[in-house]
A and B are shown apart, each in its own frame.
Chain A
């Protein structure tokens, strides 16, 4: 069973969102998503400074078998990306919710957070896909 931490928000495109409570968030892909992809070998990070709307393609995670887009789960401006992943993309597999984070956004509108899925709701979504 995949790990779905209760303190995070989720998107149905399999990103997790950590709300820092100051109008910024950290985003990565879920344990379920990394398990489906298999061993990651390359992460194309979003560009710092780019302004994203919810649902925008903003990066790519590539495993040995396939490439998969990363979507912005919420609107905002990219202000930090995880360059550790340039040399160690496998961190997304081994530690998807901590060392394997992908990018940070300055939110356009903090109230958008309300539209994201709770851990329970995301857990149900994953269970229904299995």
Chain B
């Protein structure tokens, strides 16, 4: 199994380590609930060094991404601006979701999922054919996400003034190069914060400084419940190559304009739209007893669906889920919890933002 540059720091912090896509990663450091609450109320840090950082360079980097990605990199006008996008098969299935940062006219940085690394690289390399551009994997970088209402302030407390001058003005979904570091105001929790990439050999020093600043180590368990509350998709459970972004709550990431941009998967999605999208992706709030889990059967008047991600929401104190259901599903449904049908409310797929419930 592979280990990130923070492996010994995890053990030192009392982590329970698990296999995540071939990586030995911390699931929690004692209490997933406590770590979750820490991020909602203060600040926590996640080792996300297993994720794959790719630098794309070349005179045709942009035309390549215009074809490769379902979102439109032409929206990126300022250096450091980030864009969330799906990478689709010709059939319109989701190969992966990713973030792309615009660095210059000939240079972009992409961050893709660890579990899909091999197939992503193979696909991206194959599509490079005919473009003057090349991909370089940056496995020399470590990556930490620091998230929570106090996360940025705590990071600034460790920075020299000239670096704060660059990091402080960053708006959400913007990043900046600071020396050998890349720091972006992005995340996967619904809280403010940064995702930071830096040379792996600095890992121990950075970790110790962040701990010193009062930022709590947070495991993959809390990362999952935080992103679930924020209604953010998880690749492999909420969508994959067999599902369309249009039935995965990702229609907002498809850039249909300009009509002549022929991105991979466009034709399939247009056909799907023309035929009428049969399913939608919603949030569920359990009104009955129990905990919602992945793959539970959802029954609405319009037919049946399935939970794609379900768990207990520590912030709300009740069970929530993301689910793919018939497009005509109304405001209420039933969920099959071990043979008992429990009532649930159908809501927009977002539950918590900036520490607060968004349920009405």
Contact = CB atoms under 8 A, between A and B. Distances in A.
Given A62-B312, A64-B312, A39 B290 contact: no
A65 B338 contact: no
Interface SS of chain B: helix, strand, loop or mixed?
mixed
Contact of A64 (B289, B290, B314, B338): B314
A67 B337 CA distance: 11
B187 interface: no
A42 B32 contact: no
Contact of A38 (B221, B291, B314): B221
B293 A64 contact: no
A95 to B, nearest CB: 15
Chain B CB count within 10 A is highest, among A44, A60, A65, A66, for A65
A67 B293 contact: yes
B219 to A, nearest CB: 10
B32 A67 contact: no
A22 B244 CA distance: 62
B28 interface: yes
A60 B32 contact: no
A33 interface: no
A41 B289 contact: no
Interface string A49-70: 0000000000010101111000
Interface residues of B, number: 16
Interface residues of A, number: 11
B291 A39 contact: no
B33 A39 contact: yes
A44 B319 CA distance: 14
Given A62-B290, A62-B291, A64-B225, A41 B28 contact: no
A71 to B, nearest CB: 15
Contacts of A39: 31-33
A65 B32 contact: yes
A42 B31 contact: no
A44 B33 contact: no
A60 B221 CA distance: 21
Nearest to A42: B291
Contacts of A60: 290, 338
Contacts of B32: 38-39, 64-65
Interface string B290-303: 11010000000000
Nearest to B293: A67
Nearest to A57: B338
A91 to B, nearest CB: 14
B311 interface: yes
Interface in A4-49: 38-39, 41-42, 44
Interface string A113-125: 0000000000000
A53 to B, nearest CB: 20
Contacts of B338: 60, 67
A39 B221 CA distance: 11
A39 B338 CA distance: 21
A89 to B, nearest CB: 10
Contacts of B289: 42, 44
Contact of B28 (A38, A42, A62, A67): A38
Nearest to A93: B31
A68 B91 CA distance: 39
A38 B15 CA distance: 13
Interface string B310-340: 0110100001000000000000000000100
A4 B289 CA distance: 31
A60 B339 CA distance: 13
18 contacts: A38-B32, A39-B33, A42-B312, A42-B319, A44-B289, A60-B338, A62-B290, A62-B291, A62-B312, A64-B32, A64-B33, A64-B221, A64-B312, A64-B314, A65-B221, A66-B293, A67-B291, A67-B338
Given A42-B289, A62-B291, A65-B311, 4 more contacts: A42-B312, A64-B33, A64-B311, A64-B312
Q: Across chains A and B, which 6 residue pairs bring their CB atoms closest together, nearest first?
A: A41-B312, A39-B33, A62-B291, A64-B32, A42-B291, A64-B312
Interface of B: 27-28, 31-33, 221, 225, 289-291, 293, 311-312, 314, 319, 338
Interface of A: 38-39, 41-42, 44, 60, 62, 64-67
